[in-house]
């Protein structure tokens, strides 16, 4: 749960001007299908500035699909997606619906950095080069400035000494921390995590969990798809339980984990926290 330091940072981030009072990400009545298979069936989600939202649920419940829709990596067929109050523009309908404004999509994506289950580091680049790549090529930032920030974020996740190493020389936990540094180097409005620890063994998993907890304490806006119920309970402001493409239950972590209201959530928690 949020400690005093985090609550103070979150309060400061939420006391911004009215122009930026809108949630960083807002989803309204989102539907997503793959052909005849409907994966999301009318989902609503808000990620207020400075809040951590965790998405939990069984495999196939739509968690990762929802996250990818937030970042416009997947096209949805119905509903609205808003970034800081600005609605995504669409053309077409149903399975033929696609974003209408490429510049808008690029702008939104550069402000929503994604950390995947698989680290997706470029094997032919050093760790430092991996972290610098997107700010240099996508955002055309000054190389000296980018290198300074990249080294800062590598230090932040605890692998400053690995800047000149190749990805294959790092453990899985170190590679995932490098991926987080890469996401941070874009200086996004929100971080999106898709099962960031599920590919790691328990010892390495805790390295990454520690970094995510530290980011939460800073008051960063994050949406986290996770199988780690303890982490979700510790870092989240709000937890969403998805079941078969719908929100079955949601609320503060104390409420959701301490007093689940639905039989499905009780069964899920019993299975995952045993």
In which element (H, E) is residue 229 found? helix 229-235
In which element (H, E) is residue 6 found? helix 4-14
Q: Is the pTM of this model over 0.85?
A: yes
Average pLDDT, the chain: 91
Residues in contact with 259: Cβ distance below 8 Å, sequence separation at least 6, in sequence order: none
The CATH H-level superfamily of 4-111+227-272 is P-loop containing nucleotide triphosphate hydrolases (3.40.50.300)
Residues in contact with 128: Cβ distance below 8 Å, sequence separation at least 6, in sequence order: 147, 150, 151, 154, 163, 164
pLDDT band at 118, cuts 50/70/90?
Answer: confident
Q: H helices within 21-171, ranges in order?
A: 63-70, 102-110, 127-137, 143-156
Distance between CA atoms of 103 and 265, rounded to whole angstroms?
A: 40
Which of 10, 30, 117 has its CA nearest to residue 70? Answer: 30
| Secondary structure letter of residue 71 according to DSSP | T
Residue 273's pLDDT is what?
80
Tokens matching residue 105 = 């999509």
Tokens matching residue 246 = 């719908």
Residue 21's pLDDT is what?
84
Tokens matching residue 1 = 């749960």
- For residue 20, is pLDDT > 90? no
Share of the chain above pLDDT 90, in %: 87
Among 17-31, 38-52, 173-187, the range scoring the smallest mean pLDDT is: 17-31
Query: Structural domain boundaries of the chain?
Result: 4-111+227-272
User: What are the tens digits of pLDDT across the range 47-81?
Assistant: 999 999 999 999 999 999 999 999 999 999 999 99
- For residue 274, is pLDDT > 70? no
């Amino acid at each position: 749960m949020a400690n005093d330091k985090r609550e103070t940072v979150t309060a400061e981030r939420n006391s911004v001007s009215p122009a930026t009072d809108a949630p960083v990400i807002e989803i309204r009545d989102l539907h997503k299908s793959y052909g005849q298979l409907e994966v999301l069936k009318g989902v609503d989600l808000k990620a207020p500035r400075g809040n951590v939202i965790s998405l939990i649920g069984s495999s196939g419940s739509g968690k990762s699909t929802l996250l990818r829709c937030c970042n416009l990596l997947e096209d949805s067929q119905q509903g609205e997606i808003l970034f800081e109050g600005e609605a995504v523009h669409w053309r077409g309908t149903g399975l033929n619906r696609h974003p209408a404004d490429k510049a808008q999509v690029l702008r939104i994506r550069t402000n929503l950095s994604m950390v995947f289950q698989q680290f997706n580091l470029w094997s032919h680049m050093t760790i430092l080069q991996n972290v610098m790549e997107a700010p240099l090529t996508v955002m055309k930032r000054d190389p000296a400035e980018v290198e300074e920030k990249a080294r800062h974020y590598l230090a932040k996740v605890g692998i400053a000494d690995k800047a000149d190493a190749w990805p294959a020389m790092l453990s899985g936990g170190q590679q995932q921390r490098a991926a987080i540094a890469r996401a941070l180097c874009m200086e996004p409005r929100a971080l999106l995590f898709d099962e960031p620890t599920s590919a790691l063994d328990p010892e390495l998993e805790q390295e990454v969990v520690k970094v995510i907890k530290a980011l939460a304490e800073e008051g960063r806006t994050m949406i986290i798809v996770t199988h780690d119920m303890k982490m979700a309970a510790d870092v989240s402001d709000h937890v969403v339980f998805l079941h078969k493409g719908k929100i079955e239950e949601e609320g503060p972590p104390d409420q959701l984990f301490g007093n689940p209201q639905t039989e499905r959530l009780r069964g899920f928690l019993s299975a995952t926290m045993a």
